[in-house]
Amino acid sequence: MHYLCITFSFFKMKPITSTSRRDRSIDFMRFVGIALIVLAHIRDIDPILFEFRAFDVPLMIFVSGLCFSGKTISNVPKFLLHRTPRLIVPLYLFLTVYFALLLVAGAMGVNTGLTRDHIIGSYLLSEGIGYVWVIRVFLLIMLLTPAMLWIYKKAAHLSILCLVLLLVQTLLVKHVVSASDAPLMFIFREYVLYASGYAVIFLCGLQAGTPARSPRSAYVWYALLAGYCVYFYISEGSLALPINNNKYPPAGIYIIYGVAISFLLNTVRPLLARLSNRFTDFVGSSTMWIYLYHIPFCSALIKVASFAALPWGVRYAMVFFFAVSLTYLQALASKKAETKWPSGFWKYLRG
């Protein structure tokens, strides 16, 4: 009962991370992104909805670029040393506890399906348990952020550069990725092509933060999306775009669609700010742990027959509710612990 009271009070209390100085529209865009990412991992959802929500990860990268627009990084090593732990420490904390619990359950006779490859791959941000690739993308983009800020300031025609990079990316994915399974090709596919593909989206986010560049840049991507829709309808007789087929690694219509929808949301940010509330503020400022906590619940829904039999909407609501609730309770606990035992560690349990 005490837990239920605390969880219910979440809808009344102020968020753990104050948004008094934050752009609430940014948090709302992050809220949309994380809500759709969780939705993507709920099996058997409507196929049309599954394709529609495919701008989720691009939106999160776009927002990252948006937040860096107009900023400078004077000390690159300091920037990397500060940012890297914010991604790696929460992930490793979660994985360590999660795997420890699975190992204990396995020792008690529960078939968890956990293997050594799952553990090693997850810590290396490789295949692993199948969810950590998103963290790898954010880590790659973070490492490239200083270079992309330099490009943004120096490039006279950034939209043209982005289109060239998109074309090169698409050609590489189409003609190179499937050519070989050699170790070097694996590294090229999983690291280089993921970094370059999402870098295009990040650069577009940087443009979106500049009022003088944003409208013109947006029109370019709207036109690309419209042109692709016309081409696909003429050639295939359908508007069921193969967005998710171009996601691993990101290329073609996946990038075009993600950037176009992200620009569209950016244009209605005043409306998003009005739609914001304490719930969306908290979710938008706590996406890391919400993402991590949704993993075990999604795994449980797949493996437990009684959960898997539920309608996908119910399963989605359950996963999202429990992930947000655990994140909120953890943020409360870490805030109290920080007051009692001051330490820089507690910040890794929030955000």
3-state helix, strand, coil in the chain (%, to 5): 75, 0, 25
pLDDT of residue 5: 46
Q: DSSP assignment of 244-279, as one string?
A: GGGTTTT-HHHHHHHHHHHHHHHHTHHHHHHH--HH
Whether the per-residue pLDDT at 9 is higher than 80: the answer is no
- Closest C-alpha to 40, from 326, 319, 276: 319
Q: Which residue carries 């016309």 as its tokens? A: 230
Lowest mean pLDDT among 3-17, 72-86, 276-290: 3-17
Token pair listed for 236: 């295939």
What contacts 24+ positions apart, CB below 8 Å, involve 119-127? 119/95, 122/95, 123/92, 123/95, 126/190
| Integer Cα distance of 67 and 118 in angstroms | 34
**SS3 per residue for 154-187:** HCCCHHHHHHHHHHHHHHHHHHCHHHCCCHHHHH
Confidence of residue 1 (pLDDT cuts 50, 70, 90): very low
Q: Answer for the pair 136, 125: CB distance below 8 angstroms, yes or no.
A: yes
| Integer Cα distance of 115 and 226 in angstroms | 45
Q: Which residue carries 């429990």 as its tokens? A: 322
Whether the per-residue pLDDT at 178 is higher than 80: the answer is no
Task: Provide φ and ψ at 302, rounded to 5°.
Answer: -75, -40
pLDDT of residue 19: 42
Average pLDDT, the chain: 90
pLDDT of residue 299: 84
Q: Which residue carries 């399906």 as its tokens? A: 113
pLDDT of residue 163: 96
Tens of pLDDT, residue by residue over 66-76, are 999 989 999 99
Tens of pLDDT, residue by residue over 184-229, are 888 899 999 999 999 999 999 999 988 777 788 999 999 999 999 9
Average pLDDT (32-59) is 95
Average pLDDT (225-246) is 94
Q: What percent of the chain has pLDDT over 70?
A: 92
pLDDT of residue 206: 95
pLDDT of residue 291: 98
Tens of pLDDT, residue by residue over 154-168, are 988 999 999 999 999
Q: What percent of the chain has pLDDT over 90?
A: 77
Average pLDDT (105-110) is 92
Q: Answer for the pair 60, 287: CB distance below 8 angstroms, yes or no.
A: yes
pLDDT of residue 95: 97
Confidence of residue 7 (pLDDT cuts 50, 70, 90): very low
Query: What sign does the CA torsion over 275, 276, 277, 279 have?
Result: positive
Whether the per-residue pLDDT at 15 is higher than 60: the answer is no
Contacts of residue 313, Cβ cutoff 8 Å, sequence gap at least 6 = none
Lowest mean pLDDT among 183-187, 234-238, 269-273: 183-187
Whether the per-residue pLDDT at 334 is higher than 70: the answer is yes
Contacts of residue 44, Cβ cutoff 8 Å, sequence gap at least 6 = 312
